[in-house]
Amino acid sequence: MSPTAPRPSNATLVLLASLYCAQGLPSGLIAHSLPVLLRQHGVDLALIGLLKLLALPWLLKVLWAPWIDRLASQRLGHHRGWILPLQTGVILCVAVLAMLAPQTLFGSGLWLLLGLLLLINLLASTQDIATDGLTVRLLPERWRGLGNSLQVGGYKVGMIVSGSGLLLVIDPLGWNLAVGLVAGLILLMTVPSWLFPEHRVLPFQPALAETAIGPRLLLNHYRGLLAQPGMLLWLAVVLTFKLGDSLGSPMIKPMLVDQGWSSAALGQLTLISSLAGIAGAVLGGLLYARIGVLRALILFGTLQAIGIAALALLVGQGGNVGLVYAVTLFEQVADGMSTVALFAAMMRMCRPEHEGADFTLQASAQLLLSGFVGASSGVLAKALGYEGLFVGAGVLGLLVLVVVLMHARRTQG
């Protein structure tokens, strides 16, 4: 890690923050606002559950990511050639939603709504490949923690605006204007990408890219990644680093509901804890630049494990609002810091002109295993109780740090 690498320019930071905020805006609409609005219009719970399946492109994007790295636009540049048309497609889809009556969308046009949401996820997940590749190339290693602070923070800000924010303004403004504002905000977030001179700053280097462009490209790309020294052990780090958090965090709200917390109180806690998570991401990025990758992973991973285990203190203490806020905010700050450290370390493993797909493979693997572990949290909570679940998740979070140390020793060796 070069201690002399200058901090990225303000224009670079604004560009990255705008790209990730643009991804969070449609995600917040789909994940937080639409389930509430659909239920208010009497849509069956089984159909509302289909919204989760619409996120499949985010898991499957690893299958087409190598082509995003391989193919470049001569006019717009490599990454801009993907980002601009894909983000424009998201804007158009959200604009169509804004022009239709909610009675139609949530009634006879429900399948049109689901189709548009699937298309939004497909466009946004593909754009994310190019955005991650651009981020890796733009940032020197020392400042990738800060870059991932913008990734986590920008995405969460977008989620808050189109999730909590949209629900707050939809009654006075109406569906059409409120969703139209979301489309307008995504359009505003596109301006820095239009102004970015990629041809001059980051010219495409086809000699470093894969030579194949047909079906063999997928095999060649990932076979080359897995052949990198220490990569298999590093993938073990990626798969396990967030397992404790994935196991414990889904049960925080159910535990508080069982202790009498209302929807309004949980909504306020969610908003404040999300802001704490953004602060943690920023703090983690700044500390990463000072202490380096290994210390960041160990320190932030330890704080993450302590935060999850500390949730056991809240069992039977739901009436102690101050304690609930103290523990959950600490857990969110630690989660933001650990996420930034992991994502920044993942960027170190990306090869030149393979950045988008290399990062995507790591992110998809981490997301897939965490999803399966998170799905088991309710079963374990019933078997062990909330207290046993949180303590066990914290212990798991500490144990997986051994894999981090093993990889560091192997790499140094």
Backbone angles phi, psi at 76, to 5 degrees: -95, -20
What pLDDT, on a 0 to 100 scale, did the predictor assign at position 5? 67
132-161 residue pLDDT tens? 889 888 888 778 887 788 888 888 899 888
Give the integer Cα–Cα distance in Å for 126 and 131: 9
Both tokens assigned to 221: 């790309």
The superfamily in CATH containing domain 216-413 is: MFS general substrate transporter like domains (1.20.1250.20)
Q: Is the separation of the CB atoms in 77 and 198 below 8 Å?
A: yes
336-364 residue pLDDT tens? 999 989 988 898 888 887 888 888 888 88
Give the integer Cα–Cα distance in Å for 145 and 191: 24
Class of domain 9-201 as given by CATH: mainly alpha
Please say if the pLDDT value at position 263 is more than 70: no
Please say if the pLDDT value at position 388 is more than 80: yes
Please say if the pLDDT value at position 309 is more than 90: yes
Give the integer Cα–Cα distance in Å for 228 and 217: 17
What pLDDT, on a 0 to 100 scale, did the predictor assign at position 190? 95
Both tokens assigned to 216: 């063999």
Q: Using a pLDDT cut of 90, give the percent of the chain over it.
A: 34
Tokens 């140390």: give the residue: 405
CA 119 from centroid of its chain's CA atoms: 19
Q: Is the separation of the CB atoms in 288 and 340 below 8 Å?
A: yes
Question: How would residue 1 be classed by pLDDT, with cut points 50, 70 and 90?
Answer: very low
33-70 residue pLDDT tens? 888 788 777 877 667 766 777 888 988 898 998 888 88
Among the residue ranges 141-155, 280-294, 308-322, 332-346, the one predicted with the least confidence is 141-155
Residues of the chain with CATH 1.20.1250.20: 9-201, 216-413
Among the residue ranges 26-30, 263-267, 344-348, 361-365, the one predicted with the least confidence is 263-267
Please say if the pLDDT value at position 230 is more than 70: yes
- What is the DSSP code (8-state) at residue 32? I
Q: If 0-12 CB within 10 Å is exposed, 13-18 middle and 19+ buried, where does residue 17 land?
A: buried
pTM over 0.85: no
Tokens 């090869």: give the residue: 351
The number of CA neighbours under 13 Å toward the Cβ of 165 is 18
